[in-house]
Amino acid sequence: MSGNYLGTDLRDLRFVFLEQFGLDELRQIDRFAELTEEDVVMIVEESDRQARELFAPVNASADHSSGCRLEDGQVRVPDGYKEAYDRFVEGGWIGLSLKGESGGQDIPNFIRVGSDECFVAYNPSLHTYPGLTTAAARVIESFGTEWQKETFLGKLVEGVWTGTMCLTEPDAGSDIGDIRATARLKDGKYYIRGTKQFITGGDHDLTENIIHLVLARAEGAPKGVLGISLFIVPKYKVNPDGSIGEANDVQPVAVEKKMGLKGSATVQLQFGDNDACEGYILGGEGEGLLLMFQMMYEARIGVGHQAMAMASNAYQYALRYAHERYQGSAPEQMGDPNAPRVPIIRHPDVRRMLMEAGAYVAATRRLISYAAHLIDQAWNMPPGREAKRIKTLYELLIPVAKAYATDRGLDVTNLAMLVHGGYGYVQEYPVEQILRDVKVTSVYEGTNGIQSIDLLLRNVLARRGKALKLYFEEVDRTLGRYRDNERLAALIEEFDAARAELVATTETLQGKRQTDLNHLLLISVPYMEMFGHLASAHLLLWGAGVADEKLQAIYAGQGAGDDDEKNAILERDGEARYYHNLVETTRFFVYYILPKVYGLARVIKRGDHSPMDMRF
């Protein structure tokens, strides 16, 4: 299958950006006022072209090689990565969503997520390096001093240097409050000391310098998260003229051998073994976690989008395979040994698997895009009531965008493997690698259990349910115009019933933080899944409303009066077929997937404590 690469669904990306969400709200922001639909189409199509040309050819080869390796104190990336990265940088993709004053292109993060989807679909490992660089640059852009911006920001935006986020330590993984890395202030400089583990892109030979954003505890700081500060720590010191100086006492000591994403260097770093590791504080002492939250929000959306992009890629391969693979007879001829063999896409269970995979991809694409759309508004409008409202919404949705999307990404890729049958399990076909690559997305940037706790305790049950109330106001606003659509009425009725079940279930949880915290922690993951199904149904129904209006206009424009005429249009008109299939995808989701909320509600409301009562 060399050179026969598949990426993601560009038509659906254009629909999400330009037809469902649109650009009107974003163009009210000065930074984005000149953005046109032609710009968006060009960005998506060029992203796909360059990703296919640059990223795809070195994806499988990196996976089949030894991946990244540590040689003489330097991490080496797989063959071909350096050339592909350099050409990616030449395209200006790292600075796509950063401010023009920082050297960026002032494109909404909402659109950048779609551009990234193309690159991730073709090579998720390689994209981790520029992906984290964008996030690191945005933190410096938002919180850095003028000197820090002048020194580090331009090189990051240009891709000459890359960036990382260094949170995890061997004994402090998800519990950031246990961080032991220290920052000692001496002669006006901070000196960093400690170990960071599982650092994506922590060392490599793609660029001349790497800029680490490191969480550490200043001397005398209190225990817990309030004592954590954030530091810029370059791999090599930077001279006053901006040139590269001497090594900054940051050493890679191990590269993890992983199940997947083998081309992405996951590194253990040692800071300050010789007491010579200089760092530059961002903000003030004790503000580290607050500042890092911006990067964490962006990274969590990025991880969800990474899983969705890989899932979309796996779905595309499964769809093609189902058309090309002949096996068995048509259902109406089962049992006839003389019946001709048919493509497996004729078989109902294969179609069910493809529908489920495609529905999850479409749903999570919209979930992630919606969260990014909200962030673009909140981060680029003046402080005030409206900015707080939108911030409440995106903080509610980000843990879902990360956890639900990554869980479903694994589900989709598993379905794609099943469609391939035994061939899906061998390296001859790409889904075997995609399944290994996608698994880690449910682990990093906070495991999905942690995301679920964040959703339930910090958002849904906090502030007397304000976030959920605001969210349902948005649901009603976006679905309101389609409630009178007779073709969607039954689907919206099903959605309303599922929403009532979520609301009733949530009400049973109020007050349990004080009376039965164990119960909340036990059911946070089922609750997240329940919420994710409902949020996905909302966004698919919104899209189906738009699609149905477009489809009916096509029928009317071509004079289709009966089903035969409409079916003839669907056969010859790709646009009509896209809109029709989007409505059918929504119907499948509402009837096959959304009913899962009722079983999850029973689990949540039962209040069983068997995991706590078990004697392991």
The string of pLDDT tens digits covering residues 78-135 is: 999 999 999 999 999 999 999 999 999 999 999 999 999 999 999 999 999 999 999 9
The string of pLDDT tens digits covering residues 460-511 is: 999 889 999 999 999 999 999 999 999 999 999 999 999 999 999 999 999 8
Using the Cα atoms of residue 418, residue 421, residue 423 and residue 425 in order, give the sign of their dihedral.
positive
Residue 2: pLDDT above 50? no
**Nearest-angstrom CA–CA distance, 355 and 469:** 32
Percent over 70 (pLDDT), the chain: 99
According to the model, what pLDDT value does residue 1 have? 39
> Parallel, antiparallel, or unpaired for β 244-247 and 250-255?
unpaired
What per-residue string of b and e applies to 173-194 under the rule 16 or more CB within 10 Å gives b? eeebeebebbbbeeeeebbbbb
Residues designated as active site: 445
Q: Which of 430, 528, 423, 544 shows the shortest CA–CA distance to 478?
A: 544
Query: Which residue(s) pair with 418 in the sheet?
Result: none
| Strands (E) located in 397-490 | none
The string of pLDDT tens digits covering residues 3-31 is: 578 899 999 999 999 999 999 999 999 99
Average pLDDT, the chain: 94
| Strands (E) located in 3-46 | none
According to the model, what pLDDT value does residue 153 have? 94
Mean pLDDT over 542-564 rounds to 96
According to the model, what pLDDT value does residue 3 have? 54
The string of pLDDT tens digits covering residues 174-193 is: 777 788 999 999 999 999 99
Least confident of 147-156, 164-173, 259-268, 345-354: 164-173
Q: What is the DSSP letter of 97?
A: T
Residue type, 559: G
**Quick check: helix, strand or coil at residue 1?**
coil
The string of pLDDT tens digits covering residues 40-52 is: 999 999 999 999 9
